[in-house]
């Protein structure tokens, strides 16, 4: 057809991208089809160049991602016991506190992280009053380090101090370990920045009665297969981040008879069980280190563009990628949109916080929301939105987990192995569901909701990957 | 338009019903629209007449159904304790056995029911060998009566003998009670017709250690709110008939600390907890009497066309309707289509059996399968089929349960209050998911699947309702 014919023939238009052209033609009564298309990386030339450069080593990247995904899929975490942080966590010094997210100094820390640090200092008796604790922390007398750099994770502020009890998780396939504290419950708790006497008293009881009892019980088992429990909980309406009700129940069913096999007094056993029963999030602190243990197996796989860490310290969001090892890609953390507890307003909320996005990094949490439609009552949204989130996440992930399946998607494996390239190319960010801390120290949780990481983290990672080849 | 014009004008056809007319026109290239339509009651003139007669008292029926639905919705069952059948169940004589389904004589009973009766006779020591037990049962020396006529229900064969322990369920809104035995587990168990020494030994242990222990524990509670547990389990992938894993877990979490408050030895507590933990169907025998207690509140509401009982004795299916009180409408039971355990064939299967369809009658089980997509791994089918079943059941039910909601349907209430009129008019039968017993006595469960009641029960009920006005 010659160009001249265009003006005499009846036209049928297919419009790619910008919908206003489509709408104009529609208004003029022209036959037109709209194709939902966006330029790669939103047209960002630097990113397009990085993607093109990576394209030149496509096969090496594919091999790396296959290897990283396989390691992640084959990792098999077991709960093997409970111990004290100082005895177990590599590199945890005597005057050091581990925290959630990428590295951060005291002066840049947000309220809830400072609050949790004050609480931990009081808990360790390094200071006798909140004022003294704050002064000590600000003076440089305490070293701070990301839990993620010590084979550990912690929800929200994620503070781990040397004398806290921690779960010992062992990836029996690859031999690596992960550690996490025990979950305190919701509301006014250390991890949300509260540090009142009730908070410290609960932590003491957990260290003195709960942890030793569970330790004794676990010594009578051959290790609890967390991967199996997590596969089951996905069939029971949990997604392993903000819904752990089934996981907590299944753990409870395993641990109760073990506790009864010990020489512990029935009263002690009962107090421990009642504590676990009172907190449907108890399993979160097992789900998280299980995910950490699985993802750590993929750290350092050359050329892999798959994400191994997504985490937040309440100020910055931090990303790490298999092919770039322990390097952090950071950007300011976003605010969470969701449901606030009665009496709080959006102005009370701290930016996104916690290592718990390790669950999304592993294909659970927001990625597995289709398995947990009831979660929208806690984080907001509708059940169909939960389904849609999971479906979307397949677009930015390498594969499907062979063990973790979603019944509502006809048992499709969870979307697993976030590929930095796909995130940037499609402009489609991971979905994270998460708790919301009050922005001030000492208050605690104010709600829960949904959040996306800053795209800048993924762009920085993509640039670094491109530069490294 | 005159009839003559038909032959000169271009025609656009809308075809109602029988699709072959539509397909013919389609093949001839004619523009045609197919409307999926069936004549009411499949064109059955007797049923159409019955429906028309009921139409004359439409308002009275509407008032009756509103009342029956309200009673069903407002009923609130609690587990209040455990006792012995003979002390609690009204009308249970000393040489009487209760069974599932509508009334039936020994000679018409199927293999698994006979097997369970033999087992119960041995359990009660009314005979010393299976042969003697069978002879005694056949001789008329034992009275048989439907559990449903004694405020009780039982899964599969549903045999309740005088010395068996039973759960005491109390509908605190309307004051009525319901009773059910404790669940034995799957496979070779009494309710599926097995009666070997291991079966009887387990029943003895349940009566001598488990039931007294749970009884003691329950005495320390104010009653366990079953309605709340059932609402929660629907958010955790259970539907209360063939999936009770979450319900069992939640019950376990409540009962473990109670057991530990008693003076029972830790070993006893542990054995009880391990038994419950070993059987994800334990909660079925609480879900069933809870449904029974709720539905019994609607029995006898004048003019109501809502179903109060659906049940099977392995030979016949039995239906009861609120407006016709205790009258049974029966027809031969269907065979179940589903997944058989390895080593069994469809020829091994007994027809549909058990009182457990009380869950579907109450809007759970097959009606709530959208809440439990993982169940298809046990009963067959796909997750989308599970969703479709729930959606279909809204067409034959009066309303939506205000407390039992289905997250995947954006928290829509379960389809509740089966209306005999809608079933017959639409030709749409309730969906029941259920266990499958071996057709011979002494073997046990061979699988699980899906089944529909015979339409004849609903037609008989509709006729009776029409005749009664």
**Per-residue pLDDT tens for B259-301?**
999 999 999 999 999 999 999 999 999 999 999 999 999 999 9
**Based on the domain organization, do A248 and A342 belong to the same domain?**
no
pLDDT at B8 over 90: no
- DSSP code string of A320-389: EEGGGTT--EEEEPPPPEEEEPTT--GGGBPS-EEGGGHHHHTT-GGGGGGG-GGGHHHH-S-HHHHHHH
Place of tokens 């002064």: A135
In this structure, what CATH number is given to the domain that contains residue B451? 3.90.1700.10
Query: What is the chain A residue with the closest CA to B266?
Result: A260
Query: What is the chain B residue with the closest CA to A388?
Result: B408
Report the alpha-carbon angle A58-A61-A62, nearest 5: 85
In a domain, A49, yes or no: yes
Structural domain boundaries enclosing A249: 78-289
CA dist., res. A292 & res. A149, Å (int): 11
In this structure, what CATH number is given to the domain that contains residue B182? 3.90.1710.10
B188, B196 in Cβ contact below 8 A? yes
**Based on the domain organization, do B246 and B264 belong to the same domain?**
yes
In a domain, A117, yes or no: yes
Say if the Cβ atoms of B256 and A261 lie within 8 Å: no
How many structural domains compose chain B? 3
Helices marked H in A263-325: 266-277, 284-296
Domain boundary among A289, A308, A334: A289
**Based on the domain organization, do B310 and B212 belong to the same domain?**
no
CA dist., res. A202 & res. A195, Å (int): 11
Report the alpha-carbon angle A449-A455-A460, nearest 5: 140
**Based on the domain organization, do B280 and B312 belong to the same domain?**
no
CA dist., res. A34 & res. B24, Å (int): 35
**Based on the domain organization, do B83 and B66 belong to the same domain?**
no
Report the alpha-carbon angle A259-A264-A265, nearest 5: 115
Under the phi-then-psi rule, with left for phi > 0, alpha for psi from -120 to 50, and beta for the rest, what region is A327? beta
Q: At what angle do helices B245-261 and B284-296 cross, to 10 degrees?
A: 100
As to burial, measured by CB atoms within 10 angstroms (0-12 exposed, 13-18 middle, 19+ buried), residue B129 is exposed
Residues contacting residue A445 through CB under 8 Å, at least 6 positions apart: A156, A186, A187, A188, A189, A192, A341, A435, A436, A437, A438
Probe site for chain B from A374, A380, A381, A409 (most B CB atoms < 10 A)? A374
**Based on the domain organization, do A256 and A308 belong to the same domain?**
no
In a domain, A278, yes or no: yes
Closest CA to B121 of B106, B140, B142: B142
**Based on the domain organization, do B64 and B20 belong to the same domain?**
no
What is the pLDDT at residue B1?
60
What is the pLDDT at residue A285?
98
**Based on the domain organization, do B220 and B312 belong to the same domain?**
no
Q: Give the pairing of strands B13-16 and B32-35.
A: parallel
A287, A227 in Cβ contact below 8 A? no
Query: What is the chain B residue with the closest CA to A279?
Result: B253
Q: Indicate the pLDDT class of residue B189, thresholds 50, 70 and 90.
A: very high
Say if the Cβ atoms of A256 and B256 lie within 8 Å: yes
Helices marked H in A153-220: 197-205, 211-219
Domain boundary among B235, B260, B290: B290
Q: What is the pLDDT of residues B401-442, one digit of tens each?
A: 999 999 999 999 999 999 999 999 999 999 999 999 999 999
In this structure, the number of other CB atoms found within 10 A of the CB of residue B140 comes to: 10
B290 CA: distance to closest CA in chain A (Å): 22
In this structure, the number of other CB atoms found within 10 A of the CB of residue B144 comes to: 19
In a domain, A11, yes or no: yes
Domain boundary among A237, A254, A289: A289
Say if the Cβ atoms of A246 and B250 lie within 8 Å: no
Using CB atoms, which residue from B260, B277, B384 is nearest to A410?
A: B384
Across the A:B interface, residue pairs with CB atoms under 8 Å apart total: 98
A451 CA: distance to closest CA in chain B (Å): 21
CA dist., res. B85 & res. B162, Å (int): 5
Say if the Cβ atoms of B273 and A256 lie within 8 Å: yes
B168 CA: distance to closest CA in chain A (Å): 24
Q: Which residues of B touch A374 (CB under 8 A)?
A: 235-236, 407
Q: Which residues of B touch A389 (CB under 8 A)?
A: none
Q: Which residues of B touch A242 (CB under 8 A)?
A: none
**Based on the domain organization, do A317 and A456 belong to the same domain?**
yes
Residues of B with CB under 8 A from a CB of A: 232, 235-238, 245-246, 249-250, 252-254, 256-257, 260-261, 266-267, 269-270, 273-274, 277, 373-374, 376-377, 382-384, 387, 407-411
Closest CA to B91 of B29, B173, B170, B148: B148
Query: What is the chain B residue with the closest CA to A253?
Result: B277
3-state secondary structure B193-244: CCCCHHHHHHHHHHHHHHHHHHHHHHHCCCCEEHHHHHHHHCCCCCCCCCCC
B282, B240 in Cβ contact below 8 A? no
- Spell out where A155-306 has E strands: 165-171, 177-181, 224-225
Residues contacting residue B132 through CB under 8 Å, at least 6 positions apart: none
A360 CA: distance to closest CA in chain B (Å): 20
In a domain, A294, yes or no: no
Per-residue pLDDT of chain A (469 residues; tens, 9 = 90+): 577 777 777 778 888 888 888 888 888 877 888 888 888 999 999 999 999 999 999 999 999 999 999 999 999 999 999 999 999 999 998 999 999 999 999 999 999 999 999 999 999 999 999 999 999 999 999 999 999 999 999 999 999 999 999 999 999 999 999 999 999 998 899 999 999 999 999 999 999 999 999 999 999 999 999 999 999 999 999 999 999 999 999 999 999 999 999 999 999 999 999 999 999 999 999 999 999 999 999 999 999 999 999 999 999 999 999 999 999 999 999 999 999 999 999 999 999 999 999 999 999 999 999 999 999 998 998 999 999 999 999 999 999 999 999 999 999 999 999 999 999 999 999 999 999 999 999 999 999 999 999 999 999 999 999 999 8
Q: What is the pLDDT of residues B371-386, one digit of tens each?
A: 999 999 989 989 999 9
Q: Which residues of A touch B368 (CB under 8 A)?
A: none
- Work out the percent of chain B whose per-residue pLDDT is above 90: 89
**Based on the domain organization, do A267 and A150 belong to the same domain?**
yes
- Range name among A421-430, B195-204, B337-346 with the lowest pLDDT average: B337-346
ipTM computed for the complex: 0.92
**Based on the domain organization, do A106 and A227 belong to the same domain?**
yes
**Based on the domain organization, do A230 and A280 belong to the same domain?**
yes
């Amino acid at each position: 057809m010659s160009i001249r014919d265009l003006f005499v023939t009846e036209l049928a238009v297919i419009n790619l991208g910008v919908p206003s052209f489509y709408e104009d033609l529609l208004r003029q009564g022209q036959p037109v089809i709209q194709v939902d298309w966006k330029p790669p990386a939103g047209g960002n030339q630097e990113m397009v160049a990085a993607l093109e450069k990576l394209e030149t080593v496509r096969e090496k990247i594919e091999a790396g991602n296959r290897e990283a995904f396989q390691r992640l899929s084959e990792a098999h975490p077991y709960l093997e016991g409970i111990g004290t942080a100082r005895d177990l966590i590599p590199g945890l010094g005597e005057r050091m506190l581990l925290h959630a997210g990428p590295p951060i100094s005291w002066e840049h820390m947000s309220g809830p992280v400072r609050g949790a640090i004050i609480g931990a200092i009081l808990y360790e008796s390094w200071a006798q009053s909140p004022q003294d604790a704050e002064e000590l922390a600000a003076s440089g007398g305490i070293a701070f380090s990301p839990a993620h750099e010590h084979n550990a994770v912690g929800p929200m502020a994620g503070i781990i101090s040397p004398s806290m009890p921690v779960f010992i998780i062992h990836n029996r396939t690859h031999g690596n370990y992960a550690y996490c504290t025990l979950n305190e419950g919701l509301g006014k708790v250390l991890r949300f920045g509260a540090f009142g006497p009730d908070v410290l008293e609960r932590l003491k009881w957990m260290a003195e009665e709960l942890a030793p009892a569970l330790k004794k019980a676990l010594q009578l088992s051959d290790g609890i297969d967390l991967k199996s429990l997590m596969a089951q909980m996905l069939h029971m309406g949990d997604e392993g981040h903000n819904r752990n009700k089934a996981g907590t129940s299944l753990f409870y069913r395993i641990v109760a008879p073990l506790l009864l096999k010990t020489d512990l007094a029935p009263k002690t056993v009962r107090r421990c069980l009642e504590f676990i029963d009172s907190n449907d999030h108890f399993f979160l602190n097992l789900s998280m280190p299980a995910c950490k243990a699985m993802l750590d197996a993929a750290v350092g796989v050359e050329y892999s563009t798959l994400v191994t860490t997504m985490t937040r310290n309440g100020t910055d969001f931090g990303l790490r990628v298999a092919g770039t090892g322990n390097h952090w890609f950071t950007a300011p953390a976003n605010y969470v949109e969701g449901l606030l507890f009665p009496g709080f307003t959006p102005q009370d909320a701290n930016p996104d916080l916690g290592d718990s996005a390790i669950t999304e990094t592993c294909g659970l949490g927001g990625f597995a929301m289709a398995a947990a439609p009831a979660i929208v009552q806690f984080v907001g949204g509708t059940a169909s939105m939960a389904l849609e989130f999971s479906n979307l996440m397949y677009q930015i992930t390498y594969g499907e987990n062979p063990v973790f399946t979603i019944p509502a998607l006809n048992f499709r494996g969870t979307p697993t192995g976030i590929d930095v390239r796909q995130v940037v190319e499609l402009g489609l960010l991971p979905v994270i569901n998460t708790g919301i801390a009050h922005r001030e120290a000492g208050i605690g949780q104010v709600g829960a909701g949904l959040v996306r990481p800053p795209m800048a983290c993924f762009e920085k990672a993509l640039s670094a990957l491109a530069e490294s080849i």
